[in-house]
Amino acid sequence: MSWPLSDLAPAGRVPVVLAPMAGVNDVMYRSICVEMGADLTFTEMVSSKALSFANEKTRRLLDTAPNELHVGVQLFGHEPDTMAREAAWVEDSLGEKLVCIDVNMGCPARKIIKKGDGSALLNTPDVAQQIVRQIKSQVSCPVTVKFRKGFAAGEDVACDFAKRMEDAGADWMTVHGRTTAQMYSGDADWDVLGRVKRSVSVPVIGNGDIKRGEDARAMVDATGVDGVMIARGAQGNPWIFPEAAAALAGEPAPAEPTDEERVAMARRHASMLDGYMGNTIVYMRKHVMWYLRGVPGVREARGALNSCVTMDDFNRVLDKILVDAADVRAREAAYRAAPGR
């Protein structure tokens, strides 16, 4: 099965993609993002080496949700043979749902780059090309790459690297406009996205600093990219997918989620995971703080949230957060309505 990137979104609008995020993109969160309108979701990065040892925990990262009909699997590693063999295994396992095998060439984490994986591949473009060629020879789905602007501070190798990936057979590519040295700091350079787009003839997805729906539109207008990918802007914020789709289609922005909707989404995510994953409540801590961003009183409730052990504790703390938030909102409204304001 081959999915052209442009077929993933309704005609006339570019696809809006959930970025791979290690430790964040569990299967239920991805399912929620699909429900909210993500056109394509990525698994978190999956170690090709661990897959080659049939590691059960690693294999579970490839679980997909029933509504997740378009999923990209991202592999990391540096051994072309291993990566190609495991890519073929992934393709067999996921079947028609698999949109692409993506190769991680952007991870800046020390433990990853010291082995020559992730963004270290920017420094070994021959190996990167070999990985793409060998995976291409073993799978029939598109093979894609995700990389950064450069490795060292100030370095910009993106256009040359993109051409080499295209020569090796990459079907499309995602570019994040930061160097490895920057990690996630500073602003993403969108200019480089436009330059890569003009340098290659395969589709290019732009990534970096899409925090609101309008940013997706601004990125496409500024760079001409064929798709947009959102990472941190989607943490606890699956509402960004309908926002981005509306902005890209030139439609009015949907209403912002209410406090109740934010709490309901956190509860739903937790209850979907309960039974699927051990220690759900501990895992959910970061997600819940993201879902509840902007809800009054949430910072003060952090300690209570972090001490929850059971789903009942979790739901009780959320009930209290909602009651307190409603109280703050009522006082705010009364203040605004007071005579003389």
Piece in contact with ligand FMN (CB under 6 A), picked from 27-35, 227-235, 244-252, 291-299: 227-235
Question: Whose Cβ is closer to ligand FMN: residue 31's or residue 322's?
Answer: 31
Q: Which DSSP helix (H) or strand (E) runs through 98?
A: strand 98-105
Q: Which of helix, strand or coil describes residue 61?
A: coil
x/- contact string, 123-152, with ligand FMN (CB under 6 A)?
-----------------------x------
Choice from 213, 233, 236, 238 touching ligand FMN (CB under 6 A): 233
Specify the DSSP class assigned to residue 309.
-
Q: From CA 272, how far away is CA 269, in angstroms rounded?
A: 5
Q: What minimum distance in Å lies between the beta carbon of 315 and ligand FMN?
A: 26
Q: Does 230 bind ligand FMN (CB under 6 A)?
A: yes
Q: Out of 9, 231, 247, 322, which residue is the one contacting ligand FMN (CB under 6 A)?
A: 231
Q: Is residue 215 within the footprint of ligand FMN (CB under 6 A)?
A: no
C-alpha of 242 from chain center:
15
Nearer residue to ligand FMN within complex by CB, 156 or 324: 156
Structure tokens at 89: 């295994």
Annotation-wise, does 50 bind a ligand? no
* CA 77, 80, 82, 86 torsion-angle sign: positive
Binding to ligand FMN in span 38-97, by CB under 6 A: 44-45, 74
Site for ligand FMN in 254-293 (CB under 6 A): none
Which one of 33, 107, 141, 308 is the catalytic residue? 107
DSSP string covering 144-205: EEEEEEESSTT---HHHHHHHHHHHT-SEEEEEEEETTTTT-S---SHHHHHHHHH-SS-EE
- Is 70 known to sit in a ligand binding site? no
In the bound state with ligand FMN, the residue whose beta carbon lies nearer, of 208 and 236, is 208
Q: Is 176 annotated as a binding residue?
A: yes
The answer to whether the beta carbons of residues 212 and 243 sit under 8 Å apart is yes
Q: Are 147 and 121 in contact (CB under 8 A)?
A: yes
CA neighbours within 13 Å on the CB side: how many for 106? 29
Could you list the residues known to form a binding site for FMN, using ranges.
20-22, 74, 146, 176, 231-232
Binding residues: 20-22, 74, 146, 176, 231-232
Residues that bind ligand FMN (CB under 6 A): 19-24, 44-45, 74, 104, 106-107, 146, 176, 184, 188, 207-210, 230-233
Active site (catalytic) residues: 107
